[in-house]
């Protein structure tokens, strides 16, 4: 729990400029988040309820809300400052959203939801917490509901993980990332607990998800999903 508080503090401190630096530090943002939107359209085009775990400033939630206008959106995050930005974002869209401040590993997820999404959040918790969270997601989904995770993953060995980091650094520099951007990012990345993609797909299958697959992969960025039968 103390480590979760330190993660929250890191994101609270960078909330004000988080979105400004997002595209510089995530030059593949359109393809990365776009795949989540496409998977929601594919698996839950008539979704009535969608939960975003680790929603942050609501950037991904807003894209999904535009794609599925009939869905009631619930945004959960541990950072009040980031959720304040999400609240304003949805207000500017003229969309209602339920905002929950808290640790998604500790809170009940309730439901049922037609889709649960997440982006660049679950890799901040330890692997045993990831597995327990995936179990909670499974239980929170309605039958036929889909879990979509846009995540940062570890490589199959240290050499590949290091290559992922070098590739990200080079692409971010090309996109205009500054030394200040990298300094803030490195503070947040101290809290990373990335797991290998194959392990995460295996956990989902063991829990009971079906049609588990990775739909997007570029360096340490991956978008994968699974459906509750």
Annotated domain spans of the chain = 2-227
| Band of pLDDT at residue 185, cut at 50, 70 and 90 | confident
Residues whose CB is less than 8 angstroms from the CB of residue 163 and which lie 6 or more positions away in sequence, other chains included:
155, 219
Q: Is the pLDDT of residue 122 over 50?
A: yes
pLDDT tens, residue by residue, 187-203: 888 889 999 999 999 99
Q: Are 130 and 153 spatial neighbours (Cβ–Cβ below 8 Å)?
A: no
DSSP character at residue 68 = S
Q: For the purposes of burial, counting CB atoms within 10 Å of the CB of 112, is it exposed (0-12), middle (13-18) or buried (19 or more)?
A: middle
**What does the buried/exposed string (b/e) look like for 125-155 if buried means 16 or more CB atoms within 10 Å of the residue's CB?**
beeebbbebbebbbebbbeebbbbbbbbbbb
pTM here?
0.92
What is the sign of the dihedral through the CA atoms of 79, 103, 107 and 62? positive
Supply the mean pLDDT for the chain: 92
Output the pLDDT for position 221: 98
- Predicted pLDDT at 23: 85
**pLDDT per residue as tens digits for the range 57-79:** 999 999 999 999 999 999 999 99
Residue 46: per-residue pLDDT: 96
| Confidence (pLDDT) at 21 | 76
* Average pLDDT of the residues in 160-171: 96
C-alpha distance across the termini of the chain, in Å: 32
**Inter-residue contact 116 to 51 (CB < 8 Å):** yes
What CATH number should be reported for the domain whose range is 2-227? 3.40.50.150
CA distance 42 to 148: 11
Element holding 153 (H helix, E strand): none
3-state secondary structure 156-175: CCHHHHHHHHHHHHHHHHHC
* Comparison of pLDDT for 16 and 60, the residue scoring more: 60
């Amino acid at each position: 729990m103390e480590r979760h508080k330190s993660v929250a503090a890191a994101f609270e401190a960078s909330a004000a400029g988080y979105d400004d630096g997002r595209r510089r530090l995530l030059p593949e943002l359109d393809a990365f988040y776009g795949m989540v939107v496409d998977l929601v359209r594919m698996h839950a085009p008539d979704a009535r309820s969608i939960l975003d775990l680790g929603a942050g400033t609501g950037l991904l939630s807003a894209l999904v809300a535009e794609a599925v206008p009939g869905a009631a959106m619930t945004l959960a995050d541990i950072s009040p400052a980031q959720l304040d930005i999400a609240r304003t974002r949805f207000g500017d869209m003229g969309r209602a959203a339920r905002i929950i401040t808290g640790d998604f590993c500790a809170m009940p997820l309730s439901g049922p939801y037609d889709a649960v999404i997440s982006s660049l959040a679950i890799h901040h918790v330890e692997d045993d917490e990831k597995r327990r969270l995936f179990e909670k997601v499974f239980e929170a989904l309605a039958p036929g509901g889909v879990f979509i995770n846009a995540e940062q993953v570890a490589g199959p060995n240290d050499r590949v993980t290091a290559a992922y980091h070098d590739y990200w650094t080079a692409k971010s520099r090309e996109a205009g990332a500054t030394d200040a951007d990298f300094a803030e990012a490195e503070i947040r990345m101290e809290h990373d607990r990335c797991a290998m993609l194959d392990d995460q797909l295996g956990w989902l299958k063991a829990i009971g998800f079906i049609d588990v697959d990775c739909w997007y992969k570029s360096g340490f960025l991956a978008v994968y999903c699974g459906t509750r039968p």
